[in-house]
Amino acid sequence: MNDEVAAAAGQLALLVAVLLVLQRPVGSYLVWALQSPRHLRVERAAYRLMRVDPDADQRWNTYLFSVLGFSLASVLLLYGLARLQHLLPMSLGADPMEPAGAWNAAVSFVTNTNWQWFSGEQAAGHLLQMSGFAVQNFLSAAVGIAVAVAVVRGFARSAADHRVGNFWADLVRTVGRVLLPVAFVGALLLVATGVVQNLAGPAELTTLGGASQHALGGPVASQEVIKQLGTNGGGFFNANAAHPLENPTPVSNLLQVLLMLLIPFSLPRAFGLMVGSKRQGWAVLAAMGVLWLGSVALVTWAEMSGPGLVPEAAGGAMEGKEQRFGTAASALFAASTTATSTGAVNSMHDSLTAPGGGVVMLNMLLGEVSPGGVGSGLYGMLVLAVVAVFVAGLMVGRTPELLGKKIGPGEMTLASLNILTMPAVVLLGAALAISTAAGRAGIQEAGPHGLSEMLYAVASAGNNNGSAFAGLTVSTPFYNTLLGLAMLLGRFVPIALVLALAGRLAAQRTVPAGAGTLPTQGALFVVLLVGVTLVMVALTFVPVLALGPVTESLS
């Protein structure tokens, strides 16, 4: 066990060191990519094709309509591909998805959730995987980063008439300058570790025990890399990152964790550079890091030596985990995939110990700001920073200001509605599921664990995570419809509110800090921000968590 603890600590230390080194150049590169005044030739061709003016500075509502219009077109296109895939080449004999399932899949991948009610290798052919799911992995991630940059411009600009940038330019630059180049290099690294990349169909294999089985090849590495880099999470195979062709070795496992954390932990530096305060970026990064490290430590403790586990266990609770990864690497992956909005899994979360399952659920219920998804984590944390500044100002009599912008009733109304959206979606969705016969029909486990499975599913959809506790039958019209609505509301209502907030901030004149301004760049503000984040969750979700994972832990 001591060797296992040392290995877990070494793995985590290596990951943190690499992230600290990479966040500086990656954050700086993000600023150049999205703020450069020059358009590349291929970008100008894309703008002509879309018939848009990339230099037109949009007001926040126009920016929002562009996001919604683009996302609606993406949903319709992906829905059509899923419904007609039996007519497409390289379908591998896959049947068309039924209407409710196609709707759920389309919404899932467009909202960066990547919730899968279906088995990837059985329900989707190569063309749907490549032209549908993988493309949306890029585009949905780009939308999140674009919205985050628009929000940062709201803080950085002064008297800008509610203008927050150009969505189409942000989208094209994010895909072409950031996601595609990094994904290309990342895919080569994944192939080098053994991840499959081909266009092969099922191959018949003979196991060591003499049994015959079929293994499906495909464009796995190219989809796996953007699944992690864009905090998407949808697996090419049903077993997701637990599948040996999708995540074959401990090296590929650590690389995939690095990919899912890279951009979320680099965006705070980009934020600091854009607003002219690197220390402010460090404060946001520190708050995210404290929450993430805390969840990693708790899940690792729960799975290696938590309640009910004997010290002689093989490295801890190994049920539902891959032997090639072990307990520590599985716990690190589980904590990271739920602290971001990735939702990929290299172990079955339903098999986590009750405390471990409670922590990964809590990660999602924080609103995924630790560090959250690409873009969504940063703008979610900035909304919490607005609330923290306002609360602190009321307590100590300081002026509620953040980066020279007054936080008044209008700003607080938008921030409060943003924070309340996710709990409303999750709690109302869970209540609807538990109170209807169609919802209860999917429950396979009795008692508090069954409630945890249902709550986890709705929380995963409402927070655009996509991971599952399993044990809950969701491949039904009821759950496909309910969870699809939760994904839409959980994605686009906060985007609308945060863009409205950015517009209000951009319209304000920046005022210099005075004697009454609360400092927001030091350790005290980091503690305040972490505290506000935790209290928001504690006050909202403690009752339902007490009925689920807490009761299960105590019993």
Going by C-alpha positions, the residue among 303, 390, 352 that lies closest to residue 548 is 352
* Residue 400 neighbours by CB under 8 Å, 6+ apart: 389, 390, 392, 393, 394, 406, 407, 408, 518
Report the C-alpha gap between 103 and 457 in whole angstroms. Answer: 17
Q: Which of 91-95, 194-198, 214-218 has the lowest mean pLDDT?
A: 214-218
Instruction: Please write the tens of the pLDDT for every residue from 506-535.
Output: 999 998 877 777 888 889 999 999 999 999
Percent of the chain with pLDDT over 90: 75
- The whole-number average pLDDT for the span 321-338 is 94
Q: Which of 53-62, 259-268, 445-454, 475-484 has the lowest mean pLDDT?
A: 445-454
Residue 307 has pLDDT above 60, yes or no: no
- The whole-number average pLDDT for the span 387-398 is 87
Per-residue tokens: 437: 């016969």
Residue 547 has pLDDT above 70, yes or no: yes
Instruction: Please write the tens of the pLDDT for every residue from 272-289.
Output: 999 999 999 999 999 999
Q: How many CA atoms lie within 13 A of 408 on its CB side?
A: 7
Rounded to 5°, the CA angle 413-414-419 comes to 100
Residue 312 has pLDDT above 50, yes or no: no
**Residue showing tokens 């409402």:** 462
Per-residue tokens: 309: 């586990």
Residue 308 has pLDDT above 90, yes or no: no
Q: Which of 57-66, 156-165, 311-320, 368-377 has the lowest mean pLDDT?
A: 311-320
pLDDT bin (cut points 50, 70, 90) of residue 316 is low
The torsion angles phi and psi of 205, rounded to 5 degrees, stand at: -125, 160
Per-residue DSSP letters for 462-512? HTT-----SSB---SHHHHHHHHHHHHHHHHHHHHHHHHHHHHHHHSPP--
* Residue 163 neighbours by CB under 8 Å, 6+ apart: 57, 58, 59, 60, 157, 503, 506
Q: Are 338 and 281 in contact (CB under 8 A)?
A: no
Q: Which residues of 49-62 are buried (b: 16+ CB within 10 A; e: fewer)?
A: eeebebeebbbbeb
Bond from prior residue into 371 cis (ω within 30 degrees of 0): yes
Per-residue tokens: 444: 């396979």
pLDDT bin (cut points 50, 70, 90) of residue 310 is very low
Going by C-alpha positions, the residue among 286, 251, 385, 242 that lies closest to residue 16 is 286
Classify strands 405-406 and 401-402 as parallel, antiparallel or unpaired.
antiparallel
Report the C-alpha gap between 138 and 171 in whole angstroms. Answer: 10
Longest dimension (CA), the chain: 78
- The whole-number average pLDDT for the span 195-215 is 81
Predicted local confidence at residue 306, as pLDDT: 60
Report the C-alpha gap between 256 and 111 in whole angstroms. Answer: 21
pLDDT bin (cut points 50, 70, 90) of residue 399 is confident
Instruction: Please write the tens of the pLDDT for every residue from 16-73.
Output: 999 999 999 999 999 999 999 999 999 999 999 999 999 999 999 999 999 999 999 9
The torsion angles phi and psi of 401, rounded to 5 degrees, stand at: -135, 150
What is residue 519's DSSP assignment? P
Per-residue tokens: 525: 């503000």
Residue 315 has pLDDT above 70, yes or no: no
Q: Are 364 and 463 in contact (CB under 8 A)?
A: yes
Predicted local confidence at residue 280, as pLDDT: 95
Domain ranges of the chain: 2-203+214-554
Count of other CB atoms within 10 angstroms of residue 318: 17
Report the C-alpha gap between 427 and 417 in whole angstroms. Answer: 15
The torsion angles phi and psi of 238, rounded to 5 degrees, stand at: -65, -35
Alpha helix (H) residue ranges in 157-249:
167-173, 180-192, 220-229
- The whole-number average pLDDT for the span 462-469 is 92
Predicted local confidence at residue 284, as pLDDT: 97
- Chain-centre distance for alpha carbon 174: 17
Predicted local confidence at residue 313, as pLDDT: 47
Predicted local confidence at residue 367, as pLDDT: 86
Per-residue DSSP letters for 58-82? EEHHHHHHHHHHHHHHHHHHHHHHH
How high does pLDDT run on average in the chain?
92
Instruction: Please write the tens of the pLDDT for every residue from 379-388.
Output: 999 999 999 9
Q: How many CA atoms lie within 13 A of 285 on its CB side?
A: 25
Residue 460 has pLDDT above 50, yes or no: yes
Going by C-alpha positions, the residue among 166, 135, 138 that lies closest to residue 64 is 166
- The whole-number average pLDDT for the span 425-443 is 93
